[in-house]
Copies of this chain bind each other. A is one copy, B any other.
């Protein structure tokens, strides 16, 4: 998995800070997560091929998380895109985008497929043979979801030396990869574990922005490899975090610790702070493996 941070700041803009948008590359997918104003330019800056983006996940309908989407949809059309674009977003977005297209008299020549979300429980919203995406219901001022991206456990790997030594016909390879025992050419049963190796462990990534400190997400994100958890504020502004339904760096770390995740990435910083280093210092007092997101930063895991 490769995570590219296109923008990791909250609402009010500064020169050189971008609102929320991320690209998650996972099992040959290029998922766009949130799409704040200016995302299409950040995609260009980070050399993400527009045609690779086929799925967009929008956490909620505050502008700093989706005001870049209408422009992106429009640009895709000008570039004569043909592939479908799937958009997973709270109910209401389809109506806004449709109205904007109607007013501009520019309907897309490719298919826009809206998957409107309204459930308050976690649900599976995307699945193929390699990846699953689940919602993570968050507690914010309006209806908001985080997203959990999970690689499925892959097939077992053939231990080719052992397979050849055991004299197993090639027609059984598929069954071996799927974990089954098979017969050799003499009719003897060969136990799967003698001729295969464990699959590459599946990775998982949880994106949680924006939210009040909420332990109810812990069962959903338990033991993910990487957790992005918003930290709009630091602890001295905890009261402000509460009234605006955001989290502090310390609270993000508490969630990371309780969910026993592999790594915590902080982001969605308020632009009121001159430096973001204090977010990391604060989180590290609770949980050790903390990284700061920065616009343009890439995480590989």
Residues of chain A having any CB pair with chain B under 8 Å = 11-15, 37-38, 40-41, 44-45, 61-64, 67-68, 70-71, 74-75, 78-79, 90, 92-93, 95-96, 99-100, 103-106, 141-142
Contacts and interface: CB of A to CB of B under 8 A. Distances in A.
A95 to B, nearest CB: 7
In the complex, the count of this chain's copies comes to 2
Contacts of A78: 11-12
A90 to B, nearest CB: 8
Contacts of A106: 62
A123 B233 CA distance: 49
B103 A92 contact: yes
A301 B79 CA distance: 38
The 6 closest A-B pairs by CB, nearest first: A61-B103, A92-B103, A37-B71, A63-B74, A15-B45, A67-B71
Given A62-B104, A105-B142, 17 more contacts: A11-B78, A13-B44, A13-B71, A14-B41, A14-B44, A15-B44, A37-B37, A37-B67, A61-B100, A61-B104, A62-B106, A63-B71, A63-B74, A63-B100, A67-B70, A96-B100, A103-B142
A105 B141 CA distance: 8
